[in-house]
Amino acid sequence: MASNDAEYSPGFWGWLNKRLPVGKFMREQLLEYYAPKNFNVWYFFGSLALVVLVMQLFSGIFLTMFYKVGETTSFDSVEFIMREVNYGWLLRYLHSVGASAFFVVIYLHMYRALMYGSYKAPRELLWLFGMFIYLALMAEAFMGYVLPWGNMSYWAAQVIINIFGTIPVIGPGLVEWIRGDYGVADATLNRFFSLHVVAIPLVLLLLVALHLVALREVGSNNPDGIEIKAHRGADGKPLDGIPFHPYYTVKDIVGIGLFLTLFAVVVFFVPTFGNLFLEEANFEPANPLSTPEPIAPAWYFTPFYAILRAIPNQRLGALLLLIAVMAFFFLPWLDRSPVRSIRYRGWWFRGFLAVFTISFGALMWLGLKPVTVAYVNAARVFSVGYFAFFLLMPWYSRWDRVKPVPDRVRFHE
Amino acid sequence: MTDAEASADQELVDADRRKFLTAATSATAAVGVVFAASPFIASWQPSERARALGAPVTVDLSKLEAGQMIMPVWRRQPIYVFRRPPELVAQLAAHDARLKDPKSLDSEQPAYAMNERRSRRDDIAVLIGVCTHLGCLPKQRFEPGDAQLGTDWPGGFLCPCHGSRFDLAGRVFNGSPASVNLRIPPYSFPTENTLVIGEDGTNAASGAA
Amino acid sequence: MNKSALIAAALLGAACSLGVAAQEPAAPAAETVPWETWQAGNEVSNVASLQRGFRNFMNYCAGCHSMKYVRYSRVATDLKIPTGMLKADLLPDGAAPADYIHASLQGQDGVAWFGKEPPDLSLIARSLGVDKSYRFLKTFYLDPSRPTRTNNLVLDAAAMPAVLSDLEGVKAAVFRDVKVTVDGRTMTEKKFDHFVTVVPGRMSGPEFDAFLRDTVNFLDYAGEPAQVDRRSIGVWVVLFLLVFTWFAWLLKQEYWKDVH
């Protein structure tokens, strides 16, 4: 007993740590966790995603204190928040701009993984947890957008729920089950509220925790794609690693400061961001008799929406939309390259990734536009560029002439 | 100076600079957190709708008979407005010994209500009808002499929850669980027969009290 | 011919040609009036303009259009209108300062008289936009085929009559035929060319534009009353964050000296 006590510091800290391993946890996760020392700008987005998550939780919790869910009350309560709740306008803009910021950060976070092969073994499960977070986030954003019950809220719900109607056999029944009524109605709004405020945030928190535990287990990848644990010093620590604290805590704080600055510029000066973050049509109450024109989902969904509209067959379009999202799940197994990072890959991979990037951006732009012959044709072309990246990967990743991978990290190419 | 000493010096300088920069960054962050928290905390203050609904209430007194009480609501509280019979008003000074706070020194009321009648006028009483013990609505017992309250009962209020008793000026009797007199809202009489609750020409009435 | 006669003839000739030139109509406008690019040019921080706009709204719009999310008292506070003036000059009969702005026109009458209920205008500046609202108010023209005898370039077959024609005057629209190709098919469309004044209004062109600018400015404010505060707070927030980021950067540089 006495010798056990001697291991703990005196006072409250010692009392606490004997009962809950707070100090041990902090030491292991911050001081004894060694991360590669060559992280570049692409490695900020994980911590930024956590910051945005916390911000959405706080602003969302406070919004829920004033928002009144219901067909007849939702829209009015949002205007009540904007006009009559002290700083309500700020709560609202933090949340609406935060939602878009979440997707900016997440897409950049995912892109880092594509460039540096962070999804490859032994990090496949880490990647899968991340993909599940992405799916949960899409559901969360979709449902959140319905809550103000503006005209775009209503019609976005109508269109996206109808996509589920294309599933063979169970489609129509499923749509009615999701809606809880014969059309998008109060029942739909109410259940979306519950899912958005309680269920999906809990799922998200769980997935983020699993994502971080998985990361801790395998360690971070790095821009060179080499395993830093392969070369250890006399003290057992990776030669190319540095303790997460203080080096990456201090570096991430700079990233957070820069991000918050940009974020504040948007929130305080251009919160609607040229009709992209808060659409004009949503400042009119939901009207089942009048579809807004043009109708488009939020910008972060439009690449997939463009793919859906490019296919003349409704069922096939929905199927391709599904494949477009699910393709990411298979990346760890589609990629047959012996090399992780783009720095040491050949020109096949670089070419296909470039085409994919351009296609994704073009599809995002096209998804916001109305349907014309020219735009649909363009969307078809870029859909090919999008799918080619995944479908042909088993071959071009093997054909690629890779460069020799160094033993130790380098800071740039 | 040897190399070892020089580098030791170097490290010393570094540590100080690090402490300073850490302190500066942390202090700025702390200030930022306080500023960031303030809109969230401020959002809990009564909204503009609450303040609008808390606007002054106008009451017409022309139909109010002696011994009759009406109960308008102001800022979600019941306000007891009643016309005291003149003979009972005169007796208000008689039972000071039975009261816990006859001069209203510990109780809450505007300056113009800090008198024996606890009101601006003899005839009209305006009280907040919330028992100062635990918040129930006291019931009116205006008739002097009462089987339940005793033959020396001068008229007033009996709270049904725990038995606190108040006189016609809202002052609390000895032996009641409540310790202070009934509270008085701000009010004024723009005309002889009009009462405005919530407005008395001072700023106290218009704040988000 | 002597010199003076020559000079006189030259001067007379010059005067005639000038006179002729003066009588000739100015060269016809070859370009269409670019009404789709008109901008309101309003400034929400201009309180005097907002005050005039609010007065205009109460005089010309509040008869039919409500602003159900806007309180009179809030407008008075934000626009620095004293309560006395609000009650005396701007508040309709029976309304209290804390009330929301409700139109005099009651629900079913709007449908009966105009075919549809005049929409609430609290958010029109955010859903239709400030510039489009400005253009809407500026492009009413004479159209005998409509029940209101007017039509509108922004909202074709608008149910709203030209309520400002007293101030602006009455104008007719001149259209011209134009060939248009859509998805491979060529059609002839009537495209607006320019306006012609039929009856002049009480205000001149620039006066009316200023009137509209003030009114639309008020609509802009009413759409988001917090916007002026938002921007001014934003300046401080961004400055603070820049300072914080700079400190954090210095801290990071200091620690990263260890890493090579």
Task: Please report all neighbours of B, defined by 3+ CB atom pairs within 8 A.
Answer: A, C
Residues in a beta bridge with C196: C172
Kind plus residue range of the DSSP H or E element containing A93: helix A88-116
Q: Alpha helix (H) ranges present in chain B?
A: 3-42, 48-53, 86-90
Q: Which chain A residue's Cα is nearest to B47? A: A85
Q: Give the span between the Cα atoms of A379 and A320, in whole angstroms.
A: 13
CA angle in degrees (0–180, nearest 5) for A288-A289-A291: 85
Who among B25, B31, B55 is closest to C98 (CB)?
Answer: B55
Residues B109 and B125 in one domain: yes
Q: Residue A111 pLDDT > 80, yes or no?
A: yes
Q: What residue numbers bound the domain in which B66 lies?
A: 50-205
Q: Are A254 and C248 in contact (CB under 8 A)?
A: yes
Q: Does C187 touch chain B (CB under 8 A)?
A: no
Cβ distance B18 to C250 less than 8 Å, yes or no, reads: no
DSSP string, C115-183: SSPPPP-TTHHHHT-HHHHHHHHH-EEE-TTSTTSEEESSSTT-SS--TTHHHHEEEEEEEEEEEEEET
Q: Residue C11 pLDDT > 50, yes or no?
A: yes
Who among B17, B25, B52 is closest to C247 (CB)?
Answer: B25
CA angle in degrees (0–180, nearest 5) for A401-A405-A406: 155
Residues B195 and B125 in one domain: yes
3-state secondary structure of A249: helix
- pLDDT at position C14 is 54
Interface of A with C (CB under 8 A): 37, 76, 79-80, 82-83, 89-90, 93, 242, 246-247, 250-251, 253-254, 256-258, 260-261, 264-265, 267-269, 271, 280-281, 283-284, 372-373
**pLDDT tens digits for range A90-109:** 999 999 999 999 999 999 99
Residues B148 and B169 in one domain: yes
CATH of the domain at C155: 1.10.760.10
CATH architecture entry for A24-271+283-298 = Up-down Bundle (1.20)
Residues B15 and B102 in one domain: no
Cβ distance A65 to B42 less than 8 Å, yes or no, reads: no
Domain boundaries, chain A: 24-271+283-298, 301-403
Has residue C104 been placed in a domain?
A: yes
Which residues of chain C make contact with B53, given a CB cutoff of 8 A? 98
Rg (CA), chain A: 24
Q: Are B14 and C257 in contact (CB under 8 A)?
A: yes
Please list, residue by residue across A346-373, b when 16 or more beta carbons sit within 10 angstroms of its beta carbon and e when fewer do: bebbeebbebbbebbebbbbbbbbeeee
Q: What is the ipTM of this complex?
A: 0.91
Cβ distance A91 to B45 less than 8 Å, yes or no, reads: no
**pLDDT tens digits for range A329-373:** 999 999 999 999 999 999 999 999 999 999 999 999 999 998 899
Q: Are C111 and C100 in contact (CB under 8 A)?
A: no
Residues B62 and B32 in one domain: no
Torsion of CA C190, C191, C195, C196, to 10 degrees: -30
Residues B23 and B79 in one domain: no
Q: What angle separates helix A151-164 from helix A186-194, to the nearest 10 degrees?
A: 90
CATH of the domain at B162: 2.102.10.10
Q: Are B121 and B189 in contact (CB under 8 A)?
A: yes
Q: Give the span between the Cα atoms of B158 and B149, in whole angstroms.
A: 9
Give the C-alpha distances (Å, rounded to integers) separating B189 from A371, B20, B193, B203, C87: 68, 64, 7, 17, 20
- pLDDT at position C25 is 43
Q: What residue numbers bound the domain in which C53 lies?
A: 29-251
Rg (CA), chain C: 28
3-state secondary structure of A388: helix
Which residues of chain A make contact with C69, given a CB cutoff of 8 A? 76, 79-80, 83
3-state secondary structure of A310: helix
Residues B30 and B58 in one domain: no
Q: Residue B66 pLDDT > 90, yes or no?
A: no
**pLDDT tens digits for range C113-147:** 888 889 999 999 999 999 999 999 999 999 999 98
Q: Are A179 and A187 in contact (CB under 8 A)?
A: yes
Distance from CA of A256 to the nearest CA of B (A): 11
**Which of these ranges, A2-6, A242-246, C51-55, C206-210, has the smallest mean pLDDT?**
A2-6
Q: Give the span between the Cα atoms of C86 and C72, in whole angstroms.
A: 8
Number of compact structural domains in chain B: 2
